[in-house]
Amino acid sequence: MEASSKNTLFSFEQKVVEKAEAALAKAESQDAPLREEFERLLEQYKKIFKQSERLIRLSDSQQQKLNDALEQLENAKEMADSANRFKSMFLANMSHEIRTPMNAIIGLTSLALKAEVSPKVREYLNTVQISAHSLLGIINDILDFSKIEAGKLDLESVAFHLESVMGYISDLFSERAANSGVELLFHIDEDVPRQLVGDPLRLGQILVNLTGNAMKFTRRGKIEIFANVLEIDSKQTTIRFQVSDTGIGIAEDQLPHLFDSFTQADGSTTRNYGGTGLGLTICKLLAEMMGGDMKVRSKLGDGSSFYFALPFLLDTSNAGAYDRKSKDVFKKEAVRKDSPRIFGLRVLLVEDNAINREVAQEILGNARLVTETASNGRHALEILRRTLSGETAPFDVVLMDVQMPEMDGYEATSKIRSELRMEDLPVIAMTAHAMKGDREKCIEAGMNDYIAKPIDPDQLVSVISEWVPDRRRADAQELSRFDADVAHAFPDSLPGLDLKSFMNRLDGNRKLLSKVMKQFIDNYSTVDLDIKKALETGDYETAKRMSHTLKGVAATFSAYELNDRARELEVAIGDEDGDWQEKIEDFGVALRVVVKAAHRLVDVA
């Protein structure tokens, strides 16, 4: 009831009471029993009036409290929505900031492992690579959990082949299992349909996580992955998946809490095996989102079995397109596939981060691609305009970073399509963003495909191969001629350098060879004079540090003579009785030989 209506009602009731009291006063001389009855009724009416007024005012108070509570609830909801938006923005930015250095760590480590290094250094690099991928997995777990928690993770519904998912699991874990002495087995019942409609990425994510856990907790025995049909008709099927191992197992009292977020089986598990405690939580949530559930059977010391059943539609649109062969049990060794033959393609690499540019250039160079770089979208447009005027040769593909200063990748791609009219030029996004909608945003901007950072070299080359015209791909004979041309006119050996060893370390990259030789000339061509000056002024610490540095540089270049002389000089400087005068002369002679070779390599590379 509105306040004005309430006031009118109260005023009316008050007037009624006043008139009744006036009438009662006039009736004092009249019939006493009748007057007393009227007086009694009036008192009752006044009590009822006061109670009604009190109840109405109490109702107003409660209504005001309710309104205040609703307003507070609305404000809290708005704050929660704002917090969620902030969290999403924070995660997107943090994803970019973390993935950018991760791209450099993983990319450069991968390149370093292709070089000729000592067994000890290779062991270090392998550890770095494993740790980097582990950290990347943690980042992905946190992002996925956050997206699921916020209801922002969408599922795909696409046609896929079940054995392609299983083959991916096999490729990922077979070599690791073999190295650990663990047998990895796949059991797919013959009646399991291979052509399905659903989300293969999330199905694969669940199986990868469960298999990875099984590998982590299984030191001997076997890991088995099962798939069998629970229900099937002409349109859909329900398939039960199971991952079993002969590992350490789980205590019975820990099983009820196993799928809780940030939970490990116990404290010792965290210390011995690591992990965020999110993997199984994400697996269960994904299974539930896909229409299933996840359960576990385990006994401490006797292995574990995780199983879940998911519904899929049957894909009948492309019958016969896949190989229908099925096996009750199959083992598949991981096979490294040759990179597509795409040498000679011209690639425009648009990337603002200098380290990421270097990593991508190395990857592309190893694939025998010709690369030109741009530091932002505006710079890329300037380069592409020159191709339209004929000033430079056209590009076959553009690798476009998304987040850049001056002009980002979205705007640049849009202008490539609208202003430059380059509708057929493949543009592939490279981005450290990994949040919901990033891929869609790239496609909407006119990009053809999307690669998430850190960049996998094989995936990068494979995606480029998908989008370039078949006519540009080389056959084995052309590739042989290309390699022969590269080797032609290049010196077999040079005084002071084991050139073959050095080129193997650089993976045959002559452009990089020229670059490092020029840096060597610029920085170290007169270092013997600098060392001698430091020694003559008594600065032995600086002299020793410079000779030590040159020892490492010479080893990297496979300049073994210079390496020996630098080592002898370092020892002489550190020895109180050492004759550094003679050693510095020997060092200078070896240095001049390598500097001369470096000039030659800058000229011919």
Q: Give 171-178's long-range contacts (Cβ < 8 A, gap of 24+).
A: 171/332, 171/334, 171/335, 172/208, 172/211, 172/334, 173/211, 173/212, 173/215, 173/223, 173/334, 174/331, 174/332, 174/333, 174/334, 175/333, 175/334, 176/215, 177/215, 177/223, 178/333
Of 582, 581, 543, 586, the C-alpha closest to 562 is 586
Question: Which region holds residue 390: left if phi is over 0, alpha if psi is between -120 and 50, else beta?
Answer: left
Residue 310 CA: distances (Å) to CA of 154, 203, 542: 16, 9, 67
pLDDT at 151: 65
pLDDT at 55: 76
Distance CA 199, CA 235 (A): 17
Residues 205 and 165: beta-carbon distance below 8 Å? no
Beta bridge partners of 229: 239
Q: Three-state SS for 304?
A: strand
Q: Three-state SS for 321?
A: coil
pLDDT at 411: 92
Of 432, 435, 433, the C-alpha closest to 148 is 435
pLDDT at 592: 86
Query: What does the block give as tokens for 516?
Result: 């490092």
Q: Is 323 exposed, middle or buried (0-12, 13-18, 19+ CB in 10 A)?
A: exposed
Of 329, 497, 587, 58, the C-alpha closest to 506 is 497
pLDDT at 230: 93
H or E element at residue 297: strand 294-298
pLDDT at 12: 63
Distance CA 184, CA 222 (A): 6
Rounded to the nearest 5 percent, the helix, strand and coil shares of the chain are 60, 15, 25
Q: Which residues of the chain have pLDDT under 50?
A: 266-272, 274, 319-340, 471-476, 478-479, 482, 485-489
Beta bridge partners of 346: 370
Sign of CA dihedral 538, 542, 546, 549: positive
Distance CA 60, CA 55 (A): 8
Of 268, 285, 218, 226, the C-alpha closest to 245 is 218
pLDDT at 88: 61
Residues sharing a CB contact under 8 Å with residue 541, sequence separation 6 or more, in sequence order? none
